[in-house]
Amino acid sequence: MTGHGERSYAGTGRDALSTLATGMRDDNYRLDDLLLLRQKDVPQDANIVVIASPKKDLEEPETQALDAFIRRGGRLLVFLEPDSPRGRLTSLLERFGFEIPESIVLDPQSVRFALAGGNELTPFAADYGAHAITNQMKGLATVFPTSRKVAGKSDPKRGIAAEELVRTGQGSFTVARLGMQDGKLVYDSKEKKEGPVPLAAAVAISLDALAAGEAKDKKEGGPKPAPAKKDEKPKEARVVVFGDADVASDGFIGAQGNGNFVLNAVNWLGGEQELISILPKRRLGEPLFLGDGESMFVRLLTVWAIPLFIFLSGAAVYVRRRQLR
């Protein structure tokens, strides 16, 4: 989807989603731009709509079109950021079981991975929920540079089944606002909410149950939805929301399990269960995550020991040659 400053799947740079686009094409997805500002509805042949970190909120006709798309069994993949505007888009997602408060996730434990660029604003998560997207992710970490909280809440009466896909570890928390003072992060401790914090969630929506539940809520005693025919699967919509767009960006999709996580979400949305797996390693640059002691050892070895060895070896050779003259 375009028109609101979303990240491009055809651009270049660390923020682009071109690697994700290549992976989707490898799985036989065809990608096209969708400018809902110029169309009334999502095209009938669209299987998945991707919204990647919009800078501006959607217009009301656009959210109505996406609502209709979901209600006809469409699939929606949304990447948000802490600075993504709250408004029509977040309200639409919250109608279908998501909880997306204004928040920034901080994880002090991530400073252990400083050599790989880790810091308080870059959570490293490996606590996965029980879901088809993450069932094979055990033992793999995922990296979320600057993320917000995204939770899910099931509502059986409306046919909404939600699952939180991944959470941060102990010691992490969220705040509503964040600032910098003297090179340090500052925030209002009264706004601090302890974790673990969910960073992504998936929702499956039974459309028959949704229609029946909403009709009951409105006290519209109309006819019940027709039950699915024999051998016919009940109609279902699916939505996945990430609290971070960098997890799918060219700068970080090659980090640890990020690529597997995002492409598994795409394939679950597309109903391609057989494609959900741990993919073979691609030739992508990946950060190496080290603990405190390991980081110090690498620094001493590369910054001091090796250069000192080279210097002393050169000095020894020079002195020896002088002696032989």
Q: Is residue 214 part of a domain?
A: yes
- My answer on whether 79 and 194 are in the same domain is yes
Is the Cβ–Cβ distance between 133 and 140 less than 8 Å?
no
pLDDT of residue 12: 82
> Is the pLDDT score of 110 beyond 80?
no
Is the Cβ–Cβ distance between 27 and 272 less than 8 Å?
yes
Say how far apart CA 177 and CA 199 lie, in whole Å.
17
Say how far apart CA 281 and CA 164 lie, in whole Å.
26
CATH of the domain at 194: 3.40.50
- My answer on whether 260 and 310 are in the same domain is no
- My answer on whether 114 and 237 are in the same domain is yes
- My answer on whether 260 and 320 are in the same domain is no
To which residue do tokens 């989603």 refer? 17
- My answer on whether 239 and 215 are in the same domain is yes
Say how far apart CA 132 and CA 202 lie, in whole Å.
10
pLDDT of residue 285: 46
pLDDT of residue 281: 53
Q: Is residue 191 part of a domain?
A: yes
Say how far apart CA 164 and CA 99 lie, in whole Å.
10
Domains contained in the chain, number: 2
Name the percent of the chain lying above pLDDT 90.
58
- My answer on whether 125 and 33 are in the same domain is yes
pLDDT of residue 134: 95
> Is the pLDDT score of 232 beyond 80?
no
Mean pLDDT of the chain: 86
Q: Is residue 9 part of a domain?
A: no
pLDDT of residue 160: 96
Which pLDDT band, with edges at 50, 70 and 90, does 226 fall under? very low
- Highest mean pLDDT: which of 75-89, 108-122, 208-222? 75-89
Once rounded to an integer, what is the mean pLDDT over residues 157-162? 95
- My answer on whether 232 and 310 are in the same domain is no
Q: Is residue 4 part of a domain?
A: no
Q: What is the DSSP string of 87-113?
A: SHHHHHHHHTTEE--S-EEE-GGGGGG
Say how far apart CA 308 and CA 188 lie, in whole Å.
47
pLDDT of residue 228: 46
pLDDT of residue 277: 65
pTM of the model: 0.80
Q: Is residue 7 part of a domain?
A: no
The least confident of 45-49, 111-115, 140-144, 300-304 is: 111-115
- My answer on whether 317 and 188 are in the same domain is no
- My answer on whether 304 and 262 are in the same domain is no
To which residue do tokens 């029980």 refer? 130
Distance of CA 78 to CAs 52, 73, 103, Å?
A: 6, 16, 17
Say how far apart CA 6 and CA 110 lie, in whole Å.
28
Say how far apart CA 206 and CA 246 lie, in whole Å.
30
Range of the domain at 245: 18-275
Beta bridge partners of 104: 175
Which pLDDT band, with edges at 50, 70 and 90, does 116 fall under? low
- My answer on whether 260 and 300 are in the same domain is no
Q: Is residue 141 part of a domain?
A: yes
Which pLDDT band, with edges at 50, 70 and 90, does 256 fall under? confident
Q: Is residue 34 part of a domain?
A: yes
Cis peptide before 108 (omega within 30 of 0): no
Say how far apart CA 160 and CA 168 lie, in whole Å.
24
Q: Is residue 112 part of a domain?
A: yes
> Is the pLDDT score of 155 beyond 90?
yes
- My answer on whether 299 and 234 are in the same domain is no
- My answer on whether 83 and 192 are in the same domain is yes
Higher pLDDT, 54 or 185: 54
pLDDT of residue 225: 46
Distance of CA 5 to CAs 1, 51, 144, 289, Å?
A: 10, 10, 21, 32
Once rounded to an integer, what is the mean pLDDT over residues 23-52? 92
pLDDT of residue 286: 47
Once rounded to an integer, what is the mean pLDDT over residues 92-114? 87
SS3 at position 84: coil
> Is the pLDDT score of 111 beyond 80?
no
